Structure formats: structure tokens, C-alpha cells
């Protein structure tokens, strides 16, 4: 499937932040969340969150995290100095609305929680989520139309800068749609192995190298045995309609 680019002034600037092992895995084969990075990686995560209007995760990832919050008080103060709300909007992506209304996320009501889903979701699940979320919005019939979803986040929620924290299938969909501007990647000094273990971009994948997402390295920093890389996503010829 050919990757397309849909960048526009009415879309948020999208950053993807992931930590992966030296063999490219973001979790074990059972997809259970494990923290791969060090305290330096966690601080880097909070710094990135302090730059974003909203944080976005897939339902599986969101179900395993505590709050999708901004972190300790110094990072909340940093957000305020930057003119952002003290707490970021939290966005959960679930194509079939398979996100439990009893998830720990809903027990921490410090900022809005927005659910993005599709018309294929069970109406009963949508009703249950609408009772606990601040907004539940459908985009697309079977698969989420991320161009429309992100445009809606920009127009209705004022999201100018969106931080995506996975998982791999959500990342892949955003890359496929040409919506990612930057990739922040921590390479951790550990090997997991496993052909079923998820990577930073799962899904169907690209069939031809000519259609692959191309990156330009902006910066590289070593802290201990970890590498912190920042890539700018390059537009490929033909993907902007030229």
C-alpha cells in the first residue's frame, strides 16, 4: 500500500515518541507493557508531554498506563510557562470502541478524555464510553480516518501539537497517512526477540521500498547506554501530489 501525505495547516504537528530494544521491539510477544527505558527516558517523555496540547494512545496502550498525565509538578509548571493548559487533553484510539469504561484512566479526571472510533463500533459500547468520556467521535466506517480525526482535534479542541505514544498499529496508521512530522526514538540496551513482539510501526506494512517512509536525522544524544534519536519525517516525491 502506497503511503500518502496529508499534511495541512489545519492539522496538528504530530510527534511519535517510542522506546525500543536494540532489536526493534517495543514490548514482549504477549504485548504486555514493560518499561524499557531508564529514568532518563522517562524524563524525556515528560519533556515531550510538556510540549504538547494532547497525548494520544491506542486503546491497548492506554489501558496499561496510569493516567497519560504531564508528570511531576515541574513539568506542569513548564507547560504553563509555554502557554499550555496545565494538563494535556488525553486521546484514546479504539476502532471498535473496545476500551473499558472502568479503565484506570477514567479514575483520574484532571483533563478531558476523548475517544476516537469508527461507525463499526457497537452502539452499546459507544453509549457506555459516552457516560465517562468527555467526547466520543466516529471517523470512518471500518477504519479510522485519521486525517479527519486530527483535523477535528485541531478545530474543536485546539490541538496544535499532538504527541502519540503508540502502540505500533496506531503509529503505522499515522505514518501511512503521512501525518507524522517527527519521530522521537529511544534505543534501549536490551534484546527481547520474538517474531510476534510488536515494533514501533506494525500493521500491514509497506510492500515496496519506494513507498517507505523516509526520515532525516535531526539529532542524536547518548546518555549512558541509551541513544536518543530525533528524526524529521521527509515527504517523498509524488506523495504531495507533485
Per residue of the chain (242 residues), what is the pLDDT tens digit? Answer: 444 445 577 999 999 999 999 999 999 888 888 888 999 999 999 999 999 999 999 999 999 887 899 999 999 999 999 999 999 999 999 999 999 999 999 999 999 999 999 999 999 999 999 999 999 999 999 999 999 999 999 999 999 999 999 999 999 999 999 999 999 999 999 999 999 999 999 988 878 888 889 999 999 999 999 999 999 998 643 333 33
Q: Is-contact 119 138, C-beta < 8 A? A: yes
pLDDT of residue 7: 56
pTM of the predicted structure, to 2 decimals: 0.92
SS (HEC) of 173-225 = HHHHCCCCCEEEEEEECCCCCCCCCCCCCCCCCCCCHHHCCEEEEEEEEEECC
Give the residues across from 217 on adjacent strands: 231
pLDDT of residue 131: 97
Rounded distance between C-alpha atoms, residue 22 and residue 96, angstroms: 33
Q: Is-contact 182 15, C-beta < 8 A? A: yes
Q: Angle at CA 143, nearest 5°, toward 35 and 61? A: 15
Q: Angle at CA 182, nearest 5°, toward 177 and 187? A: 115
pLDDT of residue 65: 80
Give the residues across from 21 on adjacent strands: 188
pLDDT of residue 235: 66
CA dihedral (197, 33, 11, 210) in degrees, to 10, reads -10
Q: Is-contact 33 65, C-beta < 8 A? A: yes
Cα atoms found within 13 Å of the Cα of residue 61, Cβ hemisphere only = 24
Which domains does the chain possess? 13-234 (3.40.430.10)
SS (HEC) of 28-68 = CCCCCCCCCCCHHHHHHHHHHHCCCCEEEEEHHHHHHCCCC
Give the residues across from 186 on adjacent strands: 19, 228
Amino acid at each position: 500500500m502506497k503511503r500518502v501525505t496529508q499534511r495541512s495547516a489545519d492539522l496538528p504537528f504530530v510527534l511519535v515518541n517510542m522506546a525500543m530494544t536494540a532489536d526493534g521491539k517495543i514490548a514482549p510477544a504477549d504485548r504486555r507493557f514493560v518499561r524499557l527505558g531508564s529514568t532518563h527516558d522517562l524524563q524525556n517523555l515528560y519533556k515531550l508531554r510538556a510540549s504538547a496540547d494532547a497525548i494520544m494512545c491506542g486503546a491497548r496502550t492506554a489501558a496499561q498506563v496510569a493516567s497519560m498525565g504531564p508528570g511531576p509538578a515541574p513539568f506542569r509548571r513548564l507547560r504553563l510557562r509555554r502557554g499550555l493548559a496545565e494538563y494535556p487533553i488525553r486521546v484514546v484510539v479504539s476502532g471498535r470502541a473496545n476500551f473499558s469504561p472502568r479503565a484506570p484512566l477514567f479514575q483520574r479526571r484532571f483533563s478531558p478524555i476523548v475517544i476516537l472510533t469508527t461507525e463499526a463500533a457497537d452502539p452499546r459500547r459507544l453509549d457506555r464510553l459516552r457516560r465517562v468520556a468527555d467526547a466520543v467521535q466516529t471517523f470512518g466506517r471500518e477504519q479510522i480516518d485519521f486525517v479527519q480525526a486530527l483535523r477535528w482535534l485541531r478545530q474543536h479542541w485546539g490541538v496544535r501539537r499532538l504527541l502519540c505514544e503508540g502502540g505500533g498499529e496506531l503509529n503505522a496508521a499515522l505514518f501511512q497517512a503521512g501525518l507524522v512530522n517527527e519521530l522521537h526514538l529511544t534505543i534501549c540496551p536490551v534484546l527481547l526477540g520474538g517474531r510476534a513482539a510488536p515494533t514501533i510501526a506494525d500493521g500491514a506494512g509497506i510492500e515496496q521500498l519506494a513507498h517507505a517512509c523516509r526520515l532525516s536525522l535531526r539529532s542524536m544524544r547518548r546518555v549512558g547506554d541509551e541513544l536518543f534519536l530525533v528524526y524529521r519525517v521527509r515527504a517523498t516525491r509524488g506523495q504531495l501530489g507533485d
